[in-house]
Amino acid sequence: MHIRGTTALVTGATGGLGQAIARALADQGARLVLTGRRVAELERVADATGGRVVAADLADPADVARLVAEAGEVDVLVANAALPANGALLDFTPEQVRRALAVNLEAPIALTHALVPGMAARGRGHVVHIGSLAGKVASGHSSLYNASKFGLRGFALGIREDLRGTGVGVSVVEPGMVRDAGMFADAGGVPPKGVRTVSPAQVAKAVLDAIAKDLAEVAVAPPELRFAATLGGAFPTFSSWLQRRMATDEMQRRMAEPNRAKR
């Protein structure tokens, strides 16, 4: 679908990736509805993109319902908001587990469920779920994050088939390790030797391409990481061995502490 003239709701708009996606959509002529929890930061992004602010906590179902009501008619949903949720599962409290699953999986499903009927009635629309390569291959110290992203990928690809022929497209965009902004960068992540990162601008471009070309799945990562993720999904035992050799699980363990406050 053409982006110009559409109304696009972007969740997690205060984060680095959310801001890059919002700017890219605004540059293409979309009218933005921006949501997140940090009002001052949301207003700064809105000033830069001409967007409208609806502050909401996606861990609260009542706030999700209010967001839908205040957003109004939406043509494009970019479900970008997510909590890091990395670290050993037993280090999480039950409430932290609930919040991670609510924000990373339940809220994107609820928003899709609420907004798609209007899109289908108008015969046009697109939903982009921001997943992760962690939704294709699991690693140590990431079980909760893996669970949410595996679930999001399955939901996006499944609902895409349900909506075939309605004029509503669904895509899942799966970044690898992103430099300069996002969870990996915010936690001071250092990629394993020989593994390259991607930029927030590359993720934003993938979102635009997914909408314009109605792509089912877009992995935003260098070839070596895309290959490793595909191989890991097919051969999890081999992937586990390879990740131990590359110290990927140790990298995830080190990233857990800086992200602890975001749970």
> Which is catalytic among the residues 145, 150, 155, 184?
145
- Cα distances from 260 to residues 86, 107, 201, 215, in angstroms, run 8, 21, 27, 34
Residue 145 annotated in active site: yes
Return the sign of the alpha-carbon dihedral for residues 51, 52, 55, 59.
Answer: negative
Just list the catalytic residues. Answer: 145
